[in-house]
Amino acid sequence: MQPTPQGPVPRVLAYLAWLVSIAACAAALLQFQSAVNVLGAALGANRYALRLLNQVALLLGGLVVFVYVVFLEGYYREGAELNVLPRRFAKTIAIPLGVVLLCLVLVEIALRGMNQAS
């Protein structure tokens, strides 16, 4: 596909999509960190192990989110130039939303297991 000359509106939409993606990735990171904490507690980790799990989850998750968000900026900008921004946004926003959903399910399963054990 050849880029078409456009005004500032597609570029603004690309950056708005990027901001929404940043918010979704931040929510996914926090949900992932919460899920790691709940799963660690469900598996019987002591407080020192839980603290380590929490910090490692935040560090590695934050690194993954940072790389993903940096990648998305150019991907969305190029998508706006090629008039495929909605498709690209739908594909890429599904990843953090899927992580949130997976973490919620894992937390629910872990909490039900903890309740049944007691």
Parse the chain into domains and list their residue ranges.
23-111
- Checking if the pLDDT of 92 tops 70, the result is yes
In this prediction, residues 95-116 reach a mean pLDDT of: 93
pLDDT at 5 over 60: no
Q: For the chain, first and last CA: distance in Å? A: 60
Give the pLDDT score at 7: 78
Predicted TM-score (pTM) of the model is: 0.87
Spatial neighbors of 38 by CB under 8 A, at least 6 apart, are: 106, 107, 110, 111
pLDDT at residue 1, rounded to an integer = 58
Give the tens place of pLDDT for each residue, 44-63: 889 999 999 999 999 999 99
